[in-house]
Structure 1
C-alpha cells in the first residue's frame, strides 16, 4: 500500500529561511503571511519559530541571534546546529524571489490543512447522528482555513502597543472635531448626537438596543441600517425573525421616501407619493443591504449565514431582530441559560467576523410596574449575561407612549398619534466610553428616527 506524503516543498521552505538570513528586510512581509505551522519540516518549523520570537520582541534577526534563541530553548541541536543555519544562508544567492517561495509554502500548508479538515469531517460523519452539528463543524473548519490565511492569534505586546499608540496619536490629531460632530471613528448611525456620545459602532462590538414592545426598536435599527447603506455605502446584513423580508422592505421604503406606512399597506397613494416611493425604491435596490427572514434562527444557523454574507458582500455590520426570538436547537436548558448562550454566541460572532453585531432585545415587564418607566440594565429580560457580553447597551424610552396609553387606554402605536415626538436613547453601558442620554425624534407615520437638538450626558 502506497503511503501518501502530505503536500510540501522542502526547497521552498529552505529558500524562505535562507532569504531571511541574507536579507532581514524581507522579514515583515514574511511574518505577515507565514506561521511556523505552515512549514512541513519540523526543523524548519523550529527555525522559523525562533525568527518569529525575535521579530516580535524587536531583536535583530541573523544567524547569531537565531542560534542563541534556539540554544536558549534547547532546540539548536534539533535543527542541526549552527552549521545548518549557515548552509541555509549559503543555499540562496538572492532574496529577490522570496515572495514566490512564501506563496509556495503557504499554498502547500493550506492543502495540508484541507486534508486534515477533510479527515475530521469524514470521521465525525461516521460517529454522529447530529447532521446540523456535522455541517456546522465542517463549515467552521473550512472557514477558519480561508479566513485566517495571513493571521495569527498571538502577538508580542510591543507590537500591540505600537499600533495602540499610533491610533491614540491619530485620535489626538482629530480631537475637538468629535465635539463639533464632525468626526466619527466607527460606523455612523445617522444620529449625530448619538455618534457624538459613542463615536459610532465599532468592529467586534456587540451592541444591544433594548426596549419594551412598541417603543421603536426595529424602526431605530432600520433607520441606522438605511443611513449606513445609503449615505455611507457600508454593507449591512439584517436578520429579521419577527417580520418577513417583504414587510421589512416596506418599512425601509416608507422611511426612505417619507411616506405614511399605512398608505403603502392600503394602496392609497397619490402621484407625488408614488414619485417619492419610486425614487426611494431605486436607491434601496442599489444599496448593499442583505436581508434574511428565517423565523426559527438558532446561533449555529446565524453563524453559518453570517459567514457566507460576510464573505460574499463584505458586510461590516449585522442587525438581529430580535434576540429573544432565537432558540438553541435540540436543547432543553432553562430559558435564562439559553439566552445567556445566545448572547455569548453573538459576541463571539462579532469577534470572529470582526463586524459590529447590533441585537435588539425585549425588556422585562418589571418596567411597567414602576412609576419611573425609564429602562435600566436590570430590566434586560431573562438574563444578566446580555449586559455582561454587550459592549454598548442602548435603551429606548418614549414618554408619549405611556402618556397616551394612560389617557386613552389604546394600543401604543395608535395612541402615540401621528405627529413626530421626542424619544430618549439612554446609553446604560458603554465599555469604552461614557453613559448618557440622547434625545431624538420618532415619526410614527414613517416609522423613522431623526435628530433632535437636545443632548445631555
Structure 2
C-alpha cells in the first residue's frame, strides 16, 4: 500500500486552470474594465502558464498608466519573449482572444486562478515536506514540522480575498457600537485590562488586533513587567498565552511565588530566608518558616484560578506560536492576550534570515502583527533597545533606540519604553565618583551627597514612556518596582499587599 501511494503521488500534477487563465486575459484585452474587477484579487505570480502571467503583468503596467491594453499593444511587448517557447506571439494571443466567453465572468475566472495557485502552493509545501521526510540528513522531525508550519503561515498571509470597502457611515456606526459595549462593561476600557491601572488610564486597555511593543535595556525589568502584565491581566478574567525565550516555567513560577509571598526570589529558589541575617557561626541561612511555606502554597491556589499558559520552547517561530495560540482560541476559555518575551529570541524559520538580525526581526515583527490581526487579540511584544542609551548622559530611552530592531517601530500600534533611573544612579554610585580638576573638597562632597540623595529618591520608581500611540495620547505612566521580588505594581499599591487580585475578590490590581 505504501509503495502504491508513493507511485500515485508521482503521477499527480500541480493544480492549474489554464482555460480560466486564457478566458480572463481575453476578457481584459477585450475590455480593460475587467481588469478593475480582479486587480485586488490576482497577481502575475498566480498564473500557472508563465507567458500568461507575463501578459497579465504587462496589462497591469499599461492600464495603470491610463493607456489601453489590447492584443496589438501587448504583442509589441511579448514578441520574442523566451517565455513564449516555440510559439509565436500572435499564436498565444489568438488562443487568448478566442477563449473569452464573457466580461461578467471575469471575477469568477480570477477566483478559479487564485484557488489553483493556492493549491499549487500547498502541493509544493507538502512535496517539499515529503522530500525532507524521506531524504537522509540531519533534519529532525521538529524542524520539518516547523518548516511546514512556517510555509503555511506565509501562504495564509496572501490567500485572503480583498476585504470589501466600508462606508464612512458604517465605520462610524461600528465605532459607536464598540463604545456602547465598552461603556456597558463598566470598566471604562475599550479593550482588555493591562492589570495596571496606570496603563489602563493612559491607553484605554489592550485593543483587539493591536501590537504593543515594550522596549527596554537589560536589567530594566522588561521580563518582570511583561510577566506582570500576563499574570495581572489573567487575574482580571482574561485568557493569556505567555511565551518566554530565556526563562523556564519554574523560574517564572518562582517570580510569581516571590511576589505573592513577599519573599525575595532567592528565597524561593533556595528555600532559605534572606529577610534575616545568616547564622554568625555557620554562615548558613535558616530554612523558610512555616508561614512562608504557607504563603507560597496560597500563591499556588491563587494562580490555579487564572487562565495563563506558559510556553518556553526555545527559538520558536511565529508559525509554532500561532498553532498554540489557535488551539487556545478554540478552547472553552478562549484567548484574549499574547505576551512575547522577547522578539529577539524568536526564529524567522530560515537559517539565512536568522543569521541577519535586522531581517529576522523585520520578518518576525510582520508575522506577529498578522497573527494579532488574524486572531483579533492584542499582542505585547518585548524588545531589547540598542546600546545608544548607555552612551548618553541622559539614560532615558527614546523611540530611535528601537529603530535597529527591524520593522518593530513601524508595525507597532503602540511603543512603550521602560526606564528605571535608580539602576543607573546605583551603578554610578557603586563605581564611585572621582574629584574633578579644580573641584574643592566641599563641592566634591556635595556632589557625592547629591548623587546619594537622588539614588534614594529614585528607588522603586519606574517610568513607562509612550512615545508612539496610534489610538491615543503619548505620555508617561508611573509604576512601582520592588527589586527584591522583581515585581511591578501601581504606585498606589501597598508593596506588601497581594501581587495580583484573585478574580472572585472582584477588584482590579
**TM bin (shorter chain):** 0.5 to 0.7
| Alpha carbons 1:337, 1:383 under 8 Å: kept | no
Deviation at 1:153, TM superposition (A): 5.6
Deviation at 1:356, TM superposition (A): 1.1
Aligned counterpart for 1:167 among listed residues 169, 172, 175: 175
| Alpha carbons 1:420, 1:444 under 8 Å: kept | no
Measure the CA separation in 2 of the matches of 1:135 and 1:240: 23
Matched, 1:289 2:293: no
1:84-135, Cα deviation, whole Å (9 max, x unpaired): xxxxxxxxxxxxxxxxxxxxxxxxxxxx9x9999866654545777934663
Aligned counterpart for 1:350 among listed residues 347, 368, 372: 372
- Size of the aligned set, in residue pairs, is 336
Distance 1:289 1:369, change over 3 A: same
Residue of structure 1 equivalent to 2:347: 327
Residue of structure 2 equivalent to 1:397: 419
Measure the CA separation in 2 of the matches of 1:161 and 1:197: 28
Measure the CA separation in 2 of the matches of 1:208 and 1:350: 13
Measure the CA separation in 2 of the matches of 1:118 and 1:170: 38
Residue of structure 1 equivalent to 2:478: 439
Q: Which sections of structure 2, spanning at least 5 residues, go unmatched? A: 1-101, 109-115, 273-287, 433-454, 494-509
Matched, 1:191 2:196: yes
1:29-60, Cα deviation, whole Å (9 max, x unpaired): xxxxxxxxxxxxxxxxxxxxxxxxxxxxxxxx
TM-score, normalization by structure 2: 0.58
Match runs of 1:119-138 below 5 Å:
122-125=126-129, 131-132=144-145, 135-136=148-149
Deviation at 1:341, TM superposition (A): 1.2
Match runs of 1:33-432 below 5 Å:
75=104, 122-125=126-129, 131-132=144-145, 135-136=148-149, 154-158=163-167, 161-162=169-170, 164-168=172-176, 171=179, 182-230=187-235, 232-268=236-272, 269-312=288-331, 314-328=334-348, 329-332=350-353, 334-380=356-402, 382-409=404-431, 421-432=460-471
424-433 or 265-274, which moves further after superposition?
265-274
Query: Superposition RMSD on alpha carbons, in Å?
Result: 3.9
401-410 or 445-454, which moves further after superposition?
445-454
Residue of structure 1 equivalent to 2:82: none
TM-score, normalization by structure 1: 0.64
| Alpha carbons 2:415, 2:469 under 8 Å: kept | yes
Distance 1:273 1:125, change over 3 A: closer
| Alpha carbons 1:422, 1:440 under 8 Å: kept | yes
Helix, strand or coil for the counterpart of 1:157? coil
Deviation at 1:281, TM superposition (A): 0.3
| Alpha carbons 1:174, 1:183 under 8 Å: kept | yes
Q: Which sections of structure 1, spanning at least 5 residues, go unmatched? A: 1-72, 80-111, 411-415
Measure the CA separation in 2 of the matches of 1:369 and 1:142: 43
Deviation at 1:136, TM superposition (A): 1.3
| Alpha carbons 2:403, 2:409 under 8 Å: kept | no
Measure the CA separation in 1 of the matches of 2:150 and 2:218: 36
Deviation at 1:292, TM superposition (A): 0.9
